[in-house]
Structure 1
Amino acid sequence: MTIIVSMAVNRLTKNTSTLEPLKLIDERMKQDVCGIVYSLISVPTSVFQQQWDYWFNTKKQTLEDDLVAWQVQQKNEFDVWQAEQEQEFLTWFESIKDILSGDVAANLATRIANLENGLTNHIADVSHVNGLKL
């Protein structure tokens, strides 16, 4: 007596050199070709399969819902961040707009001179601190 037990079936596509996991069909739970127990005492595996499918689909839906909620949250946070960055840029641009009008070189030279004077004054103010080398 020959007994053939099927564990799985893999559908192959011609002209391919790889196996695709989605085309692998698990037959371990099919009572007529394998089943977990196949003897004089038969255990109906369809109940196990139904329970597994229910658990898996519930878990899958929960994970998909969580993923969608996370994506929405990330998009909202990005939109807020992007708006803040845009506002910071516009504020910065407004602050330098006058520098970039008219004689740009003269405006920049004046600002550099003012910064240098401020630095010189600051150094003079703190030069009395012991051990400070400037």
Structure 2
Amino acid sequence: MKFQWPGRSAATPAVSRTTAAAPTARARGSAAEDAALAHLLAQGLQLVARSYRTPGRGGGEIDLIVREADGTLVFVEVRARANASRGGAAASVGATKQARLVLAAQHYLLRHHHSPPRCRFDVVAMDGPHIEWLKAAFDAG
């Protein structure tokens, strides 16, 4: 005997209920980085590197590395939230994340600069459509 869903004849095909798949976290993160980069470039900064990763487990990633006109190298963490509840995007860059960013920046400087330039750590926080650029959001020490 063949199973039949109640209310549907054997001649009525099943209707697919698929909807457009929600973007993955990686896709949302990439879109946020694109928006942050566009914002920083519009402010006159130049892109040096994007998604710089340190090797090995427990390493870190720097979303954007940009340079200001005065030569300051800026390590940028991009955070995005749909809304500002639970502290918002900027509040999500805690002490552990800051420590990983500092280690990743040290790794980058050791590999790419003989004499380290002036540096700083910024956060670009996006809560919904609002973009906030927090210069010198935290220190390396």
Shorter-chain TM range is: under 0.3
More helix by share: 1
Q: Give the TM-score normalised by structure 1.
A: 0.23
Q: Give the TM-score normalised by structure 2.
A: 0.23
More strand by share: 2
Instruction: Work out which of the two has the higher radius of gyration on C-alpha atoms and give 1 or 2.
Output: 1
Tell me which of the two structures has the higher relative contact order, counting C-alpha pairs closer than 8 angstroms and 6 or more residues apart: 2
